[in-house]
Structure 1
């Protein structure tokens, strides 16, 4: 075999795709939580070595930040509905229902990365990152409610976040979707009472 034939047969090595790496890391963080994922496992999952991981992403925490952003634009894209101009009650309920679907739709990646990915986490920076995202979700829910019912916006936004967090925790515990939907229907009665429905 000539050198030319060897080159043709072996081909070029596959180029590293940083965005594909972020997607793979997102999945791993979602499945295990921030603390349970080490740099060596991240590198192996992405298909690079640890020094290359640091070169590409800076640190585990910086990669986690990119993973959270990736999650928000993919599995958690329904949260963007909180920015819409629709009626508050219907919007909030639809977000809760989609959160239940997303949290139970996979056998190994359950719950919500943003709500539970840093639970009991020892990295204060990672905790602060998800806390900021959660605060942003509450702020959006508050603004949505305040358009029509400013007098109850604080309590209703707190209630929404309480139910949202309960959905994620219950999904992680293995509660099936049909039961979560029943729970959301019950929680919706309380939310509806706050917003003057019925």
Structure 2
């Protein structure tokens, strides 16, 4: 009888200890979360990416050629998630070839206010060269939304006899200049 009582007591002790070890007033588990680094840039609308800016010949001797009107049909969109806390990004721009006697100027407007996060700041108007220049700086984790009327409106203008251009260097030609935008982390 003592053996049965002893076995019963041992069994109760083991059972009650096991029950208490499985459940308590708290429990926890982990959730694995991965946030990727994102560096994406796009010029919109895609259908309007190839723009034409033609000068007009004067109708009267003694007058200069007339530059085309400014082109503000394109929008710069981007998405950015930094690789580390506190990092920022910028958008650089360059052209593949200079046009003799002519300055190609680019202006980026302030962000249109759509999307979310810390959108970048415009550098104002720059004269494009074959070396990267920053057109948008101080981009934090953000996205501009996609398409026209989102991000930064881009305006292209052509100048002759101002800045680095010189009318004396012009000659009749058709030029195709490729403009390349690159988003990079600082």
Structure number with higher helix proportion: 1
- Computing the radius of gyration from Cα coordinates, the structure with the larger value is 2
Q: Which has the higher strand share?
A: 2
TM over 0.5: no
| TM-score (normalizing by structure 1) | 0.27
